[in-house]
Structure 1
Amino acid sequence: MTIQTIKTTPFDDQKPGTSGLRKSVKHFKKPDYLQTFVQAIFNTLEHVQDSTLVLGGDGRYFNREAIQIILRMAAATGFGRVIVGQGGILSTPAASNVIRQYQAIGGIILSASHNAGGPEGDFGIKFNGANGGPAPESMTEAMFAAAKQIHEYHIAPLQPIPVDKLGKYQLAGMQVEVIDAVSDYLALMERIFDFDKISALLASNHFKMRFDAMHAVTGPYAHRILEQRLGAPEGTVIHGEPLADFGGGHPDPNQAHATELMNLLYARNSDIDFGAASDGDGDRNMILGKRFFVTPSDSLAVLAANARLIPGYKDGIAGIARSMPTSQAPDRVAEKLGLPCFETPTGWKFFGNLLDAGKITLCGEESFGTGSDHVREKDGLWAVLFWLNLLAEKQDSVENIVRQHWAEYGRNYYSRHDYEAIEMQDANALVDALQAQLPGLAGKPFGDLTVSAADNFTYTDPVDGSVSQNQGIRILFADGSRIIFRLSGTGTQGATLRVYLEKYEADVSKHDQDVQEALADLLAIVQQVARIEHFTGRAAADVIT
């Protein structure tokens, strides 16, 4: 076959964020927009000839069309084999596992994660390296530089691959292997967790659970693992069919968007003991007990404190890492267990070096992401199985397990307030004004609280020495409370300002306060210092978690 060379004009808006390039579907469907970025990825890679590439996505709108385009471009570039998830589907953690298991050069993951889907929704693409983790900043910068210089891309002639049918196919001299998206991941989970004990729990008459796949990628995984392999009753998995528009819902597993699951667990007469949900591409998780919500920060801390109860971690863990905005609850576990604890910028790629170097075993972010060294991505279903294994071992409720943890380590009251789709110039003006105040905040009193330090977080990677600056404005108080401001890199319209509030409480008698009431003094300081309404016109956050 004759490889086609297509002339194109470079785009100047293809700079990847914390999780790849995300834009609206309409933006990605502009002539040559996807092709230009894919060519930029391929131009950045070394030793492509005859290597293996992994390809899959979360099944959202435009996923199938994009896969056929990328397969043709991979053939034109000289890859020897592309491994594709059946139906074009691979959860992000499953893709990470496949990359590592098949020793691929890397993988292209098609997802906008928790963002809405459908023709009017969002699409995304990111590259994960040979370790299975997101490309480091040096590589994404190189991709952006390449995208700005591209004037042509290469593509094989049209030859659709039947990605719904397992098997091996040929495309312009390149092998395309369509694999079962679930089997390899299931085998990995069986090596980590005690499936016999989880099965016994799910079979017992006194335990009921629901898993909300949110019409996203984890539906097939949850049906196969929870209902078929572990024997949970049919109907345990809800919204289990992946849909291109996620059924019109927002595949973000939190209190604001997983409302049906919240209602099931919080109903006065609820007989469901455990609830969980995952997001668009399967890397996030929400954990619920009966009328009890587990914050992602607390979840990481509880899992770390009890890791030895899980077969895959019975010999202990090497260390813990959390993103800077994540609460300091995991730090207290690390201190008591004598483990190193690392504070990184937001973005899973920052955990990669620590995992590869063996410095940590567990890691997590407040944005409903938890993971370990089994892959190089956060992993929603892994977290759910971890909790199920823990419940099976302790034979106790989610609430009791968390409350016992608070009694031992103290409670970190924590909340995130999101102001979404702010005009970029307004968001930048707000951040600039905050930045200008930082030198004068140290030592300043705000009621009963006194600022001990204020800065814009800089991270020096302990493995390779790389430095990442301007990762979030921090106002730290003498009693350990914190306020953090950060502009998110995962949205596609305007800017999202995330405000994080945290206060530590050691007194068990004060562990039942309403979270927002417990943090009310910090929120008042936010309004005083940041003047959010002045800069944005927003009197309140759009989403509070």
Structure 2
Amino acid sequence: MQRISFGTSGWRGIVCDDFIFENVKVVTQAIADNVIAAGEKEKGVIVGYDSRFMGEQFANEAARVLTGAGIRTFLCTRDTPTPVIAFEILRRKAAGAINFTASHNPPEYNGIKFSPSWGGPALPETTRDIERRANEMLGEVCYKECDLDDARRDGKLVEIDPLQTYLDDLSTKVDFAAIARLGKVAVNPLYGTGRGYLAEPLRAHGVDVVVINEHRDPYFGGFPPEPSEKYIQDFINLVKSDPEIKLGIATDGDADRFGIVDEDGSFIEPNYIIALLLDYLVRVRGLKGGVARSVATSSLVDAVAAKHGIEVFETPVGFKYIGELISRDKIIIGGEESAGLTIKGHVPEKDGILACLLVAEMVAREGQPVRTLLERLYGQVGRFVTKRENITLAPEIEAVFADKLKATPAVIAGVKLKETVTIDGTKFLLEDGSWLLFRKSGTEPVVRLYAEAPSEERLKELLAAGRKLILE
């Protein structure tokens, strides 16, 4: 029997392989025991799900186990974005939430993500406790299930749809009046939970909107529900084909990640969006505080921070670390290169809905396309070009990979090594400001290679040096 293992965003598995009802009930009971041990049983737990296959059924099973453990359960009546569930935790002062989502993973996956009472993704000490409890119970009937009709009658089960309360709050954080002056906006929820959370509030505020992929499809059109350039070519073509469209905005399967397409159809990498929004929030909105980025995220963020004289917090990969800084009111904005961000005063969880709307506001108020704004920023702080590659390792290479990184090179691609950072993977900072990061996957023989340089030519040299270091 496979062990339950929580990664950076919960436990994920393939439906009908390891992600089965029995394992779901065991993990739910482990979460219930964690909540009870924390003395938060009376606060209740929210249960939500994304638009994947069997989402409602898995959520119902979790509700049966939670109510069977005597925990009041708030069950979402439709597929609900991850950031909206985080918002509802804080609004209700709940003990936490169980969210059935595999985010941007392919459609055969599902997952359980637990967020505790502070609203962000569970920190490692919490997930380790849940893992331990779940693995001790695997193969045993260790839970009591409550009939949902009985739970409703007794008040243990309350059905909710947090859409409107979230949108009401969002209207206090986004300048919809400015966006209405922008012109036509294209929206792509990628068949996921973002349906109704982007297009509808924009229309309600008088924005001219065109939408694609707005119906629920558990197969996500045959692609992973990831708003990256590779998987949204239909959307890019739409923006290119209509000269009236001023911006394209997209969210992933559970709407916690964003994708931005400029008015000419150019896909804008998330790294650059984080830096642009940091500059905008400080310069135009006048927000004060630090900025957080993961170790894999562009140093363009650092350059913008230096321009404004604000502190940079570098975190391991995993939004839980950034969310914790948001909850402690340490930062204006926090972001990851994998298209997650949130801002001061919002939920301590990545929010693709908010990110998309903030970009629309920025473009509207600045009166310039995204790429023009980026070139202007480059002119002020310097150019940064980033890229990530996944490299599959043969068994003999994987066996010696760790030793290769320990033998720190003095020079990489002709430039001296300045510093090595090891908070998550191994990151080599070079004297010309460029860097390489190597992060080994914990579940497969893959190394994630990240590089950043001041030019495309230099970036190619760095990536080639990185591949050579790994494979030779």
Q: Give your verdict on TM over 0.5.
A: yes
Work out which of the residue numbers 369, 372, 383 in structure 2 matches 1:400.
372
- What is the deviation of 1:402? 1.2
Specify the alignment match of 2:410 in structure 1: 443
| Matching of residue 272 in structure 1 with residue 207 in structure 2 | no
Contact 1:212 1:239 in 2 (8 A): yes
Q: Could you list the per-position Cα deviations for residues 446-475 of structure 1 after superposition, in whole angstroms to 9, with x for gaps in the alignment?
A: 3x32223345x12xxxxxxxxxxxx21222
Aligned to 1:522: 462
CA distance in 2, matches of 1:12, 1:239: 36
Q: What number of residue pairs does the alignment pair up?
A: 466
| Counterpart Cα distance in 2 of 1:72 and 1:298 | 44
Q: For 1:190 and 1:488, how far apart are their aligned partners in 2?
A: 39
Q: Tell me: CA distance 1:281–1:300, structure 2 relative to 1, closer, same or farther (3 Å).
A: same
Q: For the residues of structure 2 that align with 1:405 and 1:485, how far apart are their CA atoms?
A: 28
Residue 440 (structure 2) pairs with residue 487 (structure 1): yes
Aligned residue among 133, 141, 144 for 1:152: 141
Match in the other structure for 2:207: 232
**1:193 equivalenced with 2:174 (yes/no):** yes
2:256 to 283, 289, 293: 283
Give structure 1 stretches of 5+ with no counterpart: 1-10, 161-168, 202-206, 459-470, 506-514, 535-545
Give SS of 1:148's match: helix
> Which residue in 2 is equivalent to 1:499?
449
Aligned to 2:65: 73
Q: 1:280 to 1:365 in 2, by over 3 A?
A: same
Aligned pair partner of 1:37 in 10, 15, 27: 27
What pairs up with 1:255-270 in 2 under 5 angstroms?
255-266=229-240, 270=243
Is it true that 1:381 corresponds to 2:353 in the alignment? yes
- Alpha-carbon distance in structure 2 between the residues aligned to 1:77 and 1:231: 47
Contact 1:309/1:390 (<8 A) preserved: no
Distance 1:371 1:112, change over 3 A: same
Tell me the alpha carbon deviations over residues 295-328 of structure 1, each in whole angstroms, 9 at most, x when there is no partner: 2111111101110466xxx341311000001111
Q: Quick check: 179-188 or 250-259, which moved more?
A: 179-188
Q: How does 1:459-478 map to 2 (within 5 A)?
A: 471-478=424-431
Partner secondary structure for residue 298 of structure 2 = coil
List aligned pairs for 1:358-377, cutoff 5 A: 358-373=329-344, 374-377=346-349
Equivalents in 1 of 2:202, 2:122: separation in Å?
A: 31
Q: Which runs of 5+ in 2 are unaligned?
A: none
CA contact (8 A) 2:325 2:331 kept: yes
Secondary structure, aligned partner of 2:17: helix
1:108 aligns with one of 93, 98, 108:
98
Alignment correspondent of 1:214: 190
Matches of 1:60 and 1:35 in 2, distance apart? 18
Q: Distance in 1 between matches of 2:58 and 2:430?
A: 48
What one-letter code is carried by the residue in structure 2 that aligns with 1:435?
Answer: A
| 8 A contact 2:106–2:225 mirrored in 1 | yes
2:466 aligned partner, one-letter code: V
1:313-462 matched pairs, under 5 angstroms: 314-373=285-344, 374-419=346-391, 422=392, 426=395, 430=397, 433-444=400-411, 446=413, 448-454=414-420, 457-458=422-423
Instruction: Say if 1:303 and 1:29 are closer, same or farther in 2 by CA, change over 3 A.
Output: closer
* Larger helix fraction of residues: 2
Residues 1:250 and 2:224 are matched in the alignment: yes
1:233 positional shift: 3.4
CA RMSD of aligned residues (A): 2.2
Structure 1 residues 483, 266: closer, same or farther in 2, change over 3 A? farther
Deviations 1:20-49, CA, capped at 9 Å, x for gaps: 000001124546111111111112222243
Change (3 A) 1:148 1:317: same
Distance 1:529 1:368 in 2: 28
The alpha carbon displacement at 1:270 in A equals 4.5
Q: Is the 8 A contact 1:503 1:519 kept in 2?
A: yes
**For residues 495 and 64 of structure 1, do their structure 2 counterparts lie closer, same or farther at Cα, with a shift above 3 Å needed?**
farther
> How far did 1:125 drift?
0.4
| Counterpart contact for 1:369–1:379, Cα < 8 Å | yes
Determine the C-alpha separation between the residues in 1 that align with 2:379 and 2:313: 24
Q: Pick closer, same or farther for the CA change 1:29–1:240 going to 2, 3 Å.
A: same
Indicate the SS of the match to 1:371: strand
Alpha-carbon distance in structure 1 between the residues aligned to 2:24 and 2:313: 36
Aligned mates of 1:309, 1:91 — CA distance in 2? 30
Whole-angstrom CA distance in 1 between matches of 2:70 and 2:40: 7
Q: Deviations over 1:88-114 (max 9, x none)?
A: x22000010000011000001110000
| Alpha-carbon distance in 2 for matches of 1:496, 1:86 | 38
Give per-residue Cα distances to partners, 1:135-177, cap 9 Å, x unaligned: 10001111111112123322334436xxxxxxxx944734322
Q: Distance in 1 between matches of 2:308 and 2:136?
A: 51
- Could you say if the C-alpha distance between residues 29 and 172 of structure 1 is closer, same or farther in structure 2, counting changes exceeding 3 Å? farther
Per-residue CA deviation, residues 482-505 of structure 1 (Å, 9 max, x unaligned), is 11111346x7xx354321110035
1:334 deviation in Å?
Answer: 1.2
Q: SS in structure 2 opposite 1:107?
A: strand
Contact kept, 8 Å, 2:148 with 2:157, in 1: the verdict is no
How far off its partner does 1:445 sit?
Answer: 5.1
Whole-angstrom distance in 1 between the partners of 2:432 and 2:458: 14
1:86–1:180 contact (8 Å) kept in structure 2: yes
Which residue number corresponds to residue 56 of structure 2? 64
Identity, % of aligned positions: 27
Q: Structure 1 residues 31 and 334 mapped into 2: Cα distance closer, same or farther (>3 Å)?
A: closer
Name the TM-score, length of structure 2 as normaliser: 0.92
